[in-house]
Amino acid sequence: MAAVALVWAAGAPADGVHERGSRTTAIVDHVADGDTIEVVVGGREEYIRFIGIDTPEVYDGVECGGRQASALMKRMVQPGDRVTLVRDPSQGNRDTYERLLRYVEFEGRDLGQRQVSKGWASVYVFDEDFARLGPYRRAAEGAEEANRGAWRRCGGF
């Protein structure tokens, strides 16, 4: 899997809608891939990069499992769905590509953790551990042990 370098702006100023540790409601515009969606939040369109996961690439060369990770995300959320964006105080506000860094919840489920548990995402720690690392690692262990997703199709990550 191609490595994605992210720069976490830990000292980035809050932009009003996205205070550290806050929960914000947003409307899904579209799914970009397995770990990125576009939403409308606070009257603005924003790309959201999921905290704590990395899925196989579908741009700049399709990696094994990339299409499946994107397809799963498209089944989990669709345009018009109302999601909750959760900021993690241990992480920066935006990455190098200016995407907001958030956990994304839909109908009470953490979509990033679900990608991991289904075997289409690996746990991704950049710089500092994130708050939900323990449950994400347990989800990854379960997916590997059950040979789900990329573990079955691609031999792992």
Answer yes or no: is pLDDT of 137 > 50.
yes
Class of domain 23-146: mainly beta
3-state secondary structure the chain: CCCCCCCCCCCCCCCCCCCCCCEEEEEEEEEEECCEEEEEECCEEEEEEECCEECCCCCCCCCCCHHHHHHHHHHHCCCCCEEEEECCCCCCCECCCCCEEEEEEECCEEHHHHHHHCCCCEECCCCCCCCCHHHHHHHHHHHHHCCCCHHHHCCCC
- What tokens were used for 1? 């899997």
9-49 pLDDT tens trace: 333 334 544 555 599 999 999 999 999 999 999 999 999 99
- Rounded Cα gap, residues 146 and 84, in angstroms: 29
Whole-number pLDDT of residue 61 = 85
pTM (2 decimals)?
0.86
- The string of pLDDT tens digits covering residues 97-134 is 999 999 999 999 999 999 999 999 999 998 899 999 99
Q: What are phi and psi for residue 3, nearest 5 degrees?
A: -75, 140
